[in-house]
Structure 1
């Protein structure tokens, strides 16, 4: 038990600010998962799950006796990430046509699918902002915090779901999440996660270009049988 406690509490101190090794390692797993997702490899999902578990313990912060303010949306999304990752892992395994082949053929969401995403985002942010306000009642936080954390939570879930479906749109959702997530993490001094979010921002643009090319070059022709792809 003492070994587990030591591993849990292990941290670096930079400029007088403690940074948990769990935050660093969890974000490295997250980055590896993002690389796998861009390459459309099934292993991206289980690797991401490991990172999600580590980051869950980080973002609860003082609620679990650790360092840092408790970011409820950041913590809660790790739980849902695991659930959606299991779904994505299953879908990509089912869609894969060969051991070395990409798991899916990307495509844009249809108009109807996009409207469902937008409606889910609006309803989810309103509800989660209210819920996080109730959970964090009494914790001194700026007025924008709960809305920002609600969007990070809801947007992350929608992006991961869209990725599981093979929709190119998920990269655009991630850009919107990063634009809110980076300032929030810097404000609450989660510096490794903020740095990784900044790296993600550039990586997401690259991933969007890669998936756009794949959607264009690998899409089945109208005179050919439809390819086996996620969401088709």
Structure 2
């Protein structure tokens, strides 16, 4: 009986909806996006907790964007949006490991600690996990080639799977891979890639009826510009140039 009751509570929480303007919105879409935004804030501040927080959001949003499978109010499958949640989870594990290792190594070097740096405006040296820098010319060419090839290949795959809006979905998926990998490597360009993802993502999600996610993309658009400026200032102050 306990197992049946637990399953009932889980199902109720999973399918809980909020009616906004006559449209049913899943609470887990709102909560998942809130975790995603919190992860982005952590990424801007260059703190390790950004990764595990993002993973929680990824798991929730996967169930949202596989709407046909999980019978959401939209009842649409966006394979690119769902697939990138899986990708985020995998890359986040890599980023979590890499940032945690970098932070641990930095804490062993007390000469690098500047107590005057504030966690409010920019992270204190003992909490910053990565130092921003530009990607090398070779790395940029590699990202451009992957952006083109990845969008074409994934669009064909998503179209064959029956994804709604396969080409836009494919760029969002490909751009998200590049941006997340760039964040893990500490490349300042990753913020600009997110802007490209947002430009395509907002109209796609609005048309598909994923209004909280579309709204969050608009918030992300402003946020990533702020994050880009913050990282650029840190990079200029610390004199970081390019890394491969």
Question: 1:16 and 2:22 equivalent?
Answer: yes
Write out the 4+ residue segments of structure 1 that deviate beyond 4 Å after TM superposition: none
Name the structure 2 match of 1:121.
147
**Cα contact 1:105–1:219 (8 A) shared by 2:** no
Gaps of 5+ in 2: 1-6, 108-124
**Cα contact 2:182–2:189 (8 A) shared by 1:** yes
**Cα contact 2:29–2:212 (8 A) shared by 1:** yes
Number of paired residues?
A: 218
Gaps of 5+ in 1: 222-229
Name the structure 2 match of 1:34.
40
Q: What is the TM-score when the length of structure 2 is the normalising length?
A: 0.86
Name the structure 2 match of 1:108.
134
Query: Residue by residue, what CA displacement relative to the aligned partner does 1:67-99 show, whole Å, maximum 9, x if unpaired?
Result: 212111000000000000000011111111138
Describe the SS at the equivalent of 1:18. Answer: strand
Query: Residue by residue, what CA displacement relative to the aligned partner does 1:101-145 show, whole Å, maximum 9, x if unpaired?
Result: 311110000000000001111111010000001100xx7x5xxx2
Name the structure 2 match of 1:88.
95
Query: Residue by residue, what CA displacement relative to the aligned partner does 1:132-164 show, whole Å, maximum 9, x if unpaired?
Result: 01100xx7x5xxx21100000010111000000
**Counterpart among 199, 203, 206 of residue 179 in structure 1:** 199
Distance 2:240 2:234 in 1: 11
Name the structure 2 match of 1:76.
83
User: What is the RMSD computed on CA atoms of the aligned residues?
Assistant: 1.7
Distance 1:161 1:220 in 2: 19
